[in-house]
Structures are given as C-alpha cells and as structure tokens.
Amino acid sequence: MNLSRRGFMAASGAALATRGVGIAAKTPKTKVILKLVYDHSKGMMRAVEKVIKL
C-alpha cells in the first residue's frame, strides 16, 4: 500500500480518534495539572505531573 503524507496523517488520525473515544468512555474523568518546579539536586527546572480524579 502506497500512502502519501496526507493519506498517512488522515489514516493515523482516524485510528487514534477511534481508540481515544473508547478509552475516554471507559476511564473516569480526571484532571491533569502540569507544574514546573526547580530541582536543586539537578540544578534545573523539571516538569511534575499531577493527576486528580474528579
């Protein structure tokens, strides 16, 4: 099968959308909070993700 770039993007987008709808219907509602914090041991900023069930 020979797909163009546009065809590949459309096919992969459709596959992800159908998979995402099934996952979203099964999982409870959650809220994801992303914060940047300074890590003193590394001497740099890093991202911390916190998931809250609603």
Mind listing the pLDDT tens digit for each residue in 5-50? 777 778 777 776 766 666 555 667 888 889 989 988 888 898 888 8
Distance CA 45, CA 7 (A): 39
Domain residue limits, the chain = 5-53
What confidence category does residue 3 fall into, taking pLDDT thresholds of 50, 70 and 90?
low
Helix (H, G, I), strand (E, B) or coil at 3: coil
Distance CA 34, CA 53 (A): 15
For residue 34, which of 19, 46, 17, 25 has the smallest C-alpha distance? Answer: 46
